[in-house]
Amino acid sequence: MLSITITPLEYETRSTLSTGDAAVHMGRRPQTLRSWASTENGPLTPIKIGNRLHWRTEDIRRVLGVKARFHVSFGVEGDYDSEEHLSNISAG
């Protein structure tokens, strides 16, 4: 039997996901995401990498209301909010 491991969205470190991985997180079939891309009528807009569709992890988190969590090698752990992070960079 085939076993597939999907990283929980909170801990996903890739900036983009394949259509298959994004579909798993969204609870949809890959064809649904491809349909969103071709009709430009869905909650997410993909980017093309080569001839493949990829989906921004941050967009998926936003749609699902999931906050990113991170664990850095020097021992800092916590919530990561990219919009807050960007505003802190801009302000500093």
Task: Compute the distance between CA of residue 12 and CA of residue 87 in angstroms, rounded to an integer.
Answer: 22
Q: Is 58 among the domain residues?
A: yes
The CATH number linked to 60 is 1.10.10
Tens digit of each residue's pLDDT, the chain (92 residues): 777 788 999 999 999 999 999 999 999 999 999 999 999 999 999 999 999 999 999 999 999 999 988 654 444 445 545 445 444 444 44
| pTM, two decimal places | 0.72
| Residue 43 lies inside a defined structural domain of this protein | yes
Q: Quick one: pLDDT at residue 69?
A: 85
φ/ψ of 45, rounded to 5, equals: -120, 125
Say if 3 falls within a structural domain: no
49 within domain boundaries: yes
Q: Provide the 3-class DSSP secondary structure of residue 47.
A: strand
Question: Does residue 80 form part of some domain?
Answer: yes
Residue 4 covered by a domain: no
Domain range enclosing 24: 9-91
Based on the structure, what is the number of domains in the chain? Answer: 1
